[in-house]
Structure 1
Amino acid sequence: MESYSRDWMLCKKNDLKYRTGVKKFLEFAFTQGKGNQVVSCPCVKCNNERRKTRLEIELDLLKFGIVKSYTRWVRHGESFECQVDANALDDSHQNIEHNYMSDMLYEAFEMATQEVDAEVGEAVDEKAKVDIRGDPSEEAKTFYKLMEDLELSLYPGCKNFSKLSFLLKLFHIKCLGGITDKSLSMILDLFKEALSENNTLPESFYEAQKTVKKLSLNSIKIDACPNNCMLFWKEHANADECPKGPKKNIDVYLQPLIEELKLLWNVGVETYDASKKEKFRLFASLLWTVSDYPTYGDLSGWSTGGEKGCPTCNNYTSSEWLRNGGKYCYMCHRQFLPIDHEWRYDGASFGGTHEIRPKPKELTGEKVLEQLVYVECVTSFETPTRKRNRRKDQKNKC
């Protein structure tokens, strides 16, 4: 090959530069193949593990894309000493991140990317976002404006950030650090002043916020009682003080999560499949959580202390009260050994007893529900506490 540039490998599949690069790669691979009719296919699906014909590889590369890390084509006759374009490799991180953000915009707006018709070599737009007059719809206009911001450098010569990527990272830091709108506005003004005059940052925090809100990335802040007894949420959103309730109850803070989990399980949410370019209803469930033992008790609803302190053993927990220690000790672990294990019958080493009981039965979901049928919520009561003052600049903001 005359050029060893690999920058086309980082382009989207519908890009003309990518399709041209595919043809040059195939020319190189089958020239080096010394007459072989099949060579390794470097598409994402095959990953050089299958050998295919030239036409099959071309179709796969146009449909699935090429493995982006395969920048030295040693499986296709290229020498290890061959020089690869360093600039393309140095910019790979930025290009890949750019592609991720571009894909995010396509998925967020459910815009059809131009898929390649491999037989005719032309790009076909699956659906046009236009109104009845043939003009772009409002949704399409928003999408195209965001794509422009994604392509627009933060300042002339900047390779690490576009206008959109910088704003998204800035607002991400705002959310993680709990930065107020006023503080972020001052930070944005400082960046605006520090960068070159030709920078593309918005003129104000308000303009920056409008750009980010177009992606529907808003967050909603919910006030909580200082005693952790309730959330000022839903029907209590406008309350000035809390009803009497349990103190320091983690269930209070799980309410929004539980509501979303119920929605995902019972109703589902409409989601966009970027690979098929179509909508589908997504259902989901929470399979397990990872936490320490005390938190395990809080989340499971079964006390991890006291006489029956094992959620797994449940009512079959073996425990013994230590009078001098003033707490329960959990014994009889030999139940979990094989029935013929020698330690089960070693009374001399284990308090003079033999252990002939099988291990406790695993609790099923149906059994858990049976135990919860007659459970009533017992709450402790606290003096009503006035609602925490909510700062105006923190109400329903990103």
Structure 2
Amino acid sequence: MSKNGLSHEYEVGVEYFLQFALRNANNPNAMPCPCAKCGNLKTKDIDTIRAHLCCNGIDLTYHTWIWHGERSKFENSMNDGDRVGQDERKYFTEEPISMVHGAYDSYAKNPNQFHKLLEDAEKPLYPGCVKFTKLSALVKLYNSKAKYSWSDKSFTDLLGLFGQMLPDDNELPLTLYDAKKSLCALGMDYVKIHACPNDCILYRKEYEDFTNCPICGMSRWKLGKNSTIIGGVPAKVLWYFPPIPRFQRWFQQKVISKELTWHADKRIRDGYLHHPADAPSWKVVDHNWPNFASEPRNLRLAISADVMNPHSLMSSAYSCWPIVMITYNLPPSLCMKRKFMMLTLLISGPKQPGNDIDVYLAPLIDDLKFLWDNGVDTYDAYRKEMFSLRAVLLWTINDFPAYGNMSGCIVKGYHACPICGEETYSTRLKHSRKIVYTGHRRFLPTSLPYRRQKKAFNRNQEFKLAPKPLTGYEVLERVERINYRLGKMSGKIKSNVGDEKSCWKKKSIFFELEYWKHLHFDMFLM
């Protein structure tokens, strides 16, 4: 199967391989596909695997058939001289962390990849070098590329220049392609998910093999001149960076693993707010789910979303939505550092998702539900033990327009205040044609003299009390009856209740999280 993909020998090799795999497969209808594109990460039926091998070729790094023949144990593939402890060996022999999500542990799947990573981590950059190994030098250079926004071409030229400056027998890759192949062993993979250009669906799960959107009928593929379909080029792509493997790698580092329990081990408890663990929202989770709170390593998360222009041009029509995840288990000096702010989703333009952002949040919500319901087996390098890691999403962080897209609350018009809701004091100015919001004296103490003044305000006294924020249950009750169809071309139906004064326009996807309705309403306003 290493022959030319168009040769007769390759065709014979494919058929021999498929028959061999069928004889040894646990499930003949769902076998790992070893083509260059799937790389044994996706399961397919035998006909699809045959088509993939003919079109994409076989993954050339797949030399030992442990996924289609006899399953060899990882311990047997390790030499006696390997400097890996028994606990680490147990971790790397674990089954894939989530068959539901299609996420495989790359080290358990491919022991040779782990050996290659160890070799690169120990091999000097050049003979006699004591400051850098091949891996550490490459990681530092790649971090600088990301930090200073170097182009791919400039980075390739820089690697070539450094290669000429170093001794002839150095280990530094000379091209960006070679550098990426070395860094892939770290397992920092991403998933490209095709999306409908009208934001109706993602081509995943039941829609994975569709070529047209079942809602609006738009083609999955990009349209060229004269509206001809360019096969293989998606019209819109979501970039998803699964957070679960990165959480597991945090705990594999002793220093970070220790810091992830700072809120339980070193936090000062004097009644003042020093950390999010002192906030009511954190305590709600501790009170309602004591089993979750009993494990301090369980993660408390937040996500931040906002639009950005990657080209730094105010007039550009292109937009990009990064979704960043923050972990609050860390001390305050670290939890907002760039190193621990994790990019999970990248929603590319040119159209902004708007209220249809729920379509793109679906993969992340699936992972969050899995972390809450099941947890993942994780190795703690600091305590040298395995434990089941779980996580909870406490709130989202947005500006006001993005808050409206994420929560489903109206943020403009006569009922734009998330706290006041239908009781918002608003007036439309006749000449400027703008809406202004008054009635803020309701939030002042009742004894304050400002409440009785007329001339300085709207010529009326204010004796009403401030409205109470809604609870999560009350919000869910209001949005349950809203009929909102996702997609730009789906013909919006806001509500079938007949309440024109409702300040809610959709049910947020966050309510798919079991615990979301139990959280305080003010969490939606972060």
Q: How many residues are matched?
A: 255
Matched residue SS, 1:289: strand
Q: Which runs of 5+ in 1 are unaligned?
A: 1-108, 110-123, 131-136, 384-398
Superposition pairs for residues 40-119 of structure 1, below 5 Å?
A: none
Q: Which runs of 5+ in 2 are unaligned?
A: 1-73, 75-83, 91-107, 217-350, 491-526
Q: Which amino acid in 1 is paired with 2:203?
A: F
Superposition pairs for residues 347-386 of structure 1, below 5 Å?
A: 347-379=454-486, 382=489
> Quick one: structure 1 residues 138 and 255, their matched pair in 2 at CA, closer, same or farther if it must change by over 3 Å?
closer
Report the equivalent of 2:122.
151
> Quick one: structure 1 residues 203 and 337, their matched pair in 2 at CA, closer, same or farther if it must change by over 3 Å?
closer
User: Given the alignment, which residue of 288, 294, 302 partners 2:395?
Assistant: 288
Shift of 1:204: 7.5
CA distance in 1, matches of 2:156, 2:166: 16
> Quick one: structure 1 residues 317 and 279, their matched pair in 2 at CA, closer, same or farther if it must change by over 3 Å?
farther
Report the equivalent of 1:315.
422
Report the equivalent of 1:271.
378
Matched residue SS, 2:135: helix
Matched residue SS, 2:365: helix
Matched residue SS, 1:287: strand
Shift of 1:252: 2.7
Q: Which amino acid in 2 is paired with 1:200?
A: E
Shift of 1:362: 1.6
Alignment identity in percent? 41
More RCO (CA 8 Å, sep 6+): 1
Superposition pairs for residues 110-129 of structure 1, below 5 Å?
A: 127=87, 129=89
> Quick one: structure 1 residues 203 and 324, their matched pair in 2 at CA, closer, same or farther if it must change by over 3 Å?
closer
Asked if 1:167 corresponds to 2:138, the answer is yes
Report the equivalent of 2:193.
222
- Mapped contact 2:429–2:435 kept (Cα < 8 A): yes
> Quick one: structure 1 residues 178 and 147, their matched pair in 2 at CA, closer, same or farther if it must change by over 3 Å?
same
Report the equivalent of 2:441.
334
CA distance in 1, matches of 2:414, 2:88: 66
Task: Provide, for residues 344-374 of structure 1, a one-character-per-residue CA deviation record: whole Å limited to 9, x for no partner.
Answer: 1112322221111111102111111111211
Report the equivalent of 1:297.
404
- Mapped contact 2:413–2:435 kept (Cα < 8 A): yes
> Quick one: structure 1 residues 305 and 175, their matched pair in 2 at CA, closer, same or farther if it must change by over 3 Å?
same
Shift of 1:327: 3.2
> Quick one: structure 1 residues 203 and 379, their matched pair in 2 at CA, closer, same or farther if it must change by over 3 Å?
closer
Task: Provide, for residues 21-56 of structure 1, a one-character-per-residue CA deviation record: whole Å limited to 9, x for no partner.
Answer: xxxxxxxxxxxxxxxxxxxxxxxxxxxxxxxxxxxx
Report the equivalent of 1:200.
171
- Mapped contact 2:87–2:384 kept (Cα < 8 A): no
Matched residue SS, 2:391: coil
Shift of 1:333: 0.4
- Mapped contact 1:227–1:247 kept (Cα < 8 A): no
Shift of 1:328: 2.2
RMSD: 3.9
Shift of 1:170: 5.0
Asked if 1:242 corresponds to 2:213, the answer is yes
Matched residue SS, 1:155: coil
Shift of 1:191: 4.9
- Mapped contact 1:308–1:314 kept (Cα < 8 A): yes
CA distance in 2, matches of 1:365, 1:282: 26
> Quick one: structure 1 residues 371 and 138, their matched pair in 2 at CA, closer, same or farther if it must change by over 3 Å?
closer
> Quick one: structure 1 residues 380 and 288, their matched pair in 2 at CA, closer, same or farther if it must change by over 3 Å?
closer
Q: TM-score, normalised by structure 1?
A: 0.53
Q: Which amino acid in 2 is paired with 1:337?
A: L
User: Given the alignment, which residue of 408, 413, 420 partners 1:306?
Assistant: 413
Please state which structure has a larger fraction of its residues in strand.
Answer: 2
User: Given the alignment, which residue of 241, 248, 256 partners 2:363?
Assistant: 256
CA distance in 1, matches of 2:457, 2:198: 47
